[in-house]
Amino acid sequence: MNLEQLERELVTLRVRVRRGGPLPDRGPVVYWMQRSQRGRANLALDVAIAAANLLGAPLLVFLAPRGDFPGATRRSLTFLMQGIADIAEDVSARGATLVLRSPPQTSLLQFCREVGARLVVGDEHWLREPMAWRAKAADRLDIPYWTVDSDVVVPLAALPQKEEWAARTLRPRIHALLPAYLCARSEPDCSVPWVGPLPHSDPLAPPEELLQRLGPIDESAQPVAQQGGRRRGLATLQRLVRQRLRLYLEARNEPSEDGSSGLSAYLHFGHLSPLEVALAVEQSDAPQPAKDAFLEQLIVRRELAIQFCARNPHYDSLQGCADWARLTLDQHRADPRAYTCDLATLEQARTADPAWNAAQTQLLRDGTMHGYLRMYWAKKILEWSPTPEIAFERALLLNDRYQLDGRDPNGYTGVAWAVGGKHDRPWAPRRPVFGTIRFMNAAGLARKTNLAAYLARFG
């Protein structure tokens, strides 16, 4: 079977052929596992297994975590390493061979040459550095290389190749495509095992030992109580569909366990698939309005954030926001601030605002913050910073350092919405510092949430 025949068998809108060319006659298929760190409910792994089966080849899963990933800390890397045992178990159960490598043996190109690979399948990513790694791989590999959009429900390639203005413009496009993509898929197992000597693979070990193999890492954020891994993510998903989901519509603005799914970190690290989460929610016995509200956040809002990062090269700065927002912020740049503070005061939760301090305390302690509080948290950083640009930088720094789901399209979009009016509209009345950017204050927070309970817990 040649490459063109194989592509006709497998390539859908989820698969991007980054490098074509002649297909070698022999050698294994390599799945480069990066974004989708799971051995089940993984469309990229499914494509790799199907390709290997059609070629009559074994499949090697290449997993090479790095401690120097931009913005990674001991907190985030610990959560990541807690998922490796689950990956190894699931990959083995599907008949593939996991190869785990640590620095300095993390080069995909060297590994492919070592094993004589004939095809590489990887997962898509939407942020600058990982996209550059994929482009570099496509440029330097001398064998075909595909990527699969495996961490969205509706693939980006099925949508217009321009940045959407807001959720209201993306929503009808997403809903029109859901029947084609929001459906269960069968998971193939490998039919051809690896034979002969195995390539070198680091032995499995407890997460702390795996971390030590990465070399020096950023210690600015330490591990939290919530633990990573597919098994823990599935348990959290089951709690959602059995207990929390029926209360979601009423409790979603409440900064309590009932107002949060608890899934964001598992989605961010690829331990869970958004497709499997959406299907579990659809199949639950929760009231339909609650399911609809949750799926709006999981699919429309999450994929709006992903599209923003994929389509806008300035997603992590004020420059990526709309002209009207940057203009109004510039017009109010010199407005006197009633209160200002420096980055250290923010980071240590020592501001003059008890609600903000409680939110930052939750972030420092738990590595998470309820979405409604996160909006308030970021808007106050705008109000208290000397310039909008500095506010944007501070909010991203704190979000990416301490949030378990930091360095994610949701976080970049959340900061851009709060500080720069992204996916929003001008609001009246015009206010100091904010101009026509949507305003939030503690009084409004107290009206919409049980702030007293939140302060008692984190204040």
Residues 260 and 103: their CA atoms lie apart, in Å, by: 36
Give pLDDT, residue 257. Answer: 66
Delimit the domains of the chain by residue range.
Answer: 3-150, 152-183+228-311, 318-458
| Secondary structure element (H or E) that encloses residue 234, with its range | helix 230-239
Q: CATH number for 3-150: choose from 3.90.226.10, 3.40.50.620, 1.10.10.10, 3.40.190.10.
A: 3.40.50.620
Between strands 119-123 and 145-148, the pairing is parallel
CB 162 within 8 A of CB 311: yes
β-pair partners for 90: none
Dihedral over Cα of 375, 380, 385, 388: its sign: positive
Same fold, 3-150 and 318-458: no
Structure tokens at 17: 């052929």
pLDDT at 251: 75
Q: Is the distance from CB of 86 to CB of 39 less than 8 angstroms?
A: yes
CATH 2.60.120.10, applies to 152-183+228-311: no
- Cβ pair 53, 191 in contact under 8 A: yes
Instruction: Specify the 3-state DSSP secondary structure of 112.
Output: helix
**CA 214 vs CA 67, 209, 379: distances in Å:** 5, 9, 36
- CA-nearest of 53, 333, 86, 299 to 191 is 53
Q: What angle do CA 403, 408, 410 make, to 5 degrees?
A: 90
What per-residue string of b and e applies to 87-123 under the rule 16 or more CB within 10 Å gives b?
bbebbeebbbbbbbbbeeebbbeebbeebebbbbbbb
133 Cβ neighbours under 8 A, 6+ residues apart: 34
To the question of domain 318-458 being in CATH 3.30.360.10, the answer is no
Q: What is the pLDDT of residue 449?
A: 87
**Rounded CA gap, 407 and 400, in Å?**
5
Three-class secondary structure of residue 17 per DSSP: strand
Token pair listed for 280: 């579990």
Report pLDDT for 372. Answer: 87
pTM (predicted TM-score): 0.96
CA–CA separation, 22 and 29 (whole Å): 14
DSSP one-letter code for 270: T
CA–CA distance, 124 with 180 (Å, rounded to integer): 20
Type of residue at 327: L
Angle between helices 230-239 and 274-282 (to 10 degrees): 30
Q: Is beta strand 97-100 parallel, antiparallel or unpaired with respect to 59-63?
A: parallel
Question: What confidence score (pLDDT) does residue 279 get?
Answer: 98
- Whether the ω angle into residue 223 lies within 30 degrees of 0, i.e. cis, is no
In 168-207, which positions are buried (b, 16+ CB within 10 angstroms) versus exposed (e)?
eebbeebeebbeebbeeeebbebeeebeeeeeebbeeeeb
Instruction: Give me 349's structure tokens.
Output: 């939760």
For residue 103, give the DSSP letter: T
Walk along the chain (459 residues) and give the pLDDT tens digit of each residue: 556 666 666 667 688 989 887 888 899 999 999 999 999 999 999 999 999 999 999 999 999 999 988 899 999 999 999 999 999 999 999 999 999 999 999 999 999 999 999 999 999 999 999 999 999 999 999 999 999 999 999 999 999 899 999 999 999 999 999 999 999 988 999 999 999 899 999 999 999 999 999 999 999 999 999 999 999 999 999 999 999 999 888 877 777 666 689 999 999 999 999 999 999 999 999 999 999 999 999 999 999 999 999 999 999 999 999 999 999 999 999 999 999 999 999 999 999 999 999 999 999 999 999 888 999 999 999 999 999 999 999 999 999 999 999 999 999 999 999 999 999 999 999 999 999 999 999 999 988 888 888 999 998
Contact call for residues 67 and 214 (beta carbons, < 8 A): yes
pLDDT at 424: 97
